[in-house]
A = this chain, B = another copy of it.
């Protein structure tokens, strides 16, 4: 009875998982630039030094590859935005400010080569029903729900005394973030991040947020 389900490294299954991981690492960058429909099994295989048919069997179909890509991007987003904000801040308004900062940094750092993966995927699939869109919607909703909950906690703590609708503020903040992302890419400029940060600060101050906290929102601009 000493076996059960042991982790045997470099087994056959482990090798497959590693291949998938490597391929998806390319896929998320490619998709952020060319779109999820712009993904190509052939090019992905070439980049990962695999055969075309090898990649095809590894994912089954292009649609499954696209869904796996969305899931991989979701994990990167959590690691790069949600987790850091969670570590650097406490619940409440502080957390909300940290999420905004981390998001702007994540976009500015070009964690994905073509900017925010989900901003691109959402617009690409907003009029294309199907499983891929469902996956994109699910991931986007998850993020916005998390931001809404974070805002609600700030409300409950009395840190945003003039706000009663958390979802409304979520809408406004993500509007700023995504608009900054697109404009920064279009104009190769960091100015949009400054505008987004300013807009968020102004709004939070107007809602009665503590200026000392709100003023922490800003960007350590990297953009070329």
A128 CB contacts on chain B under 8 angstroms: 33-34
A209 CB contacts on chain B under 8 angstroms: none
Q: Which of A6-14, A62-70, A77-85, A173-181 sits within the interface? A: A173-181
Known: A113-B127, A127-B113, A185-B127. A172 touches B176 (CB 8 A): yes
Q: Does A18 contact B (CB under 8 A)?
A: no
A26 CB contacts on chain B under 8 angstroms: none
Q: Which of A37, A122, A123, A178 has the most CB of B within 10 A?
A: A123
- Which listed residue, B33, B171, B176, B179, touches A195 by the CB 8 Å rule? B171
Secondary structure class of chain A's binding surface, majority of residues: helix
A174 CB contacts on chain B under 8 angstroms: 179
- Which listed residue, B32, B38, B168, B175, touches A179 by the CB 8 Å rule? B175
Q: What's the least CB distance linking A151 to chain B, in Å?
A: 14
Copies in the complex: 2
User: Could you say which interface size class chain A belongs to?
Assistant: 35 or more
A192 CB contacts on chain B under 8 angstroms: 171
A35 CB contacts on chain B under 8 angstroms: 35, 37, 124
Q: Does A47 contact B (CB under 8 A)?
A: no
Q: Does A114 contact B (CB under 8 A)?
A: yes
Interface hits, A163-211 → B, CB 8 Å: 167-168, 171-172, 174-176, 178-179, 182-183, 185-187, 192, 195-196, 198-199, 206
A123 CB contacts on chain B under 8 angstroms: 119-120, 123-124, 182
Apart from A167-B195, A171-B199, A175-B176, what are 14 other A-B pairs with CB-CB below 8 Å? A37-B38, A113-B127, A120-B124, A124-B124, A125-B186, A126-B186, A127-B185, A137-B186, A137-B187, A171-B183, A171-B192, A171-B196, A172-B195, A178-B178
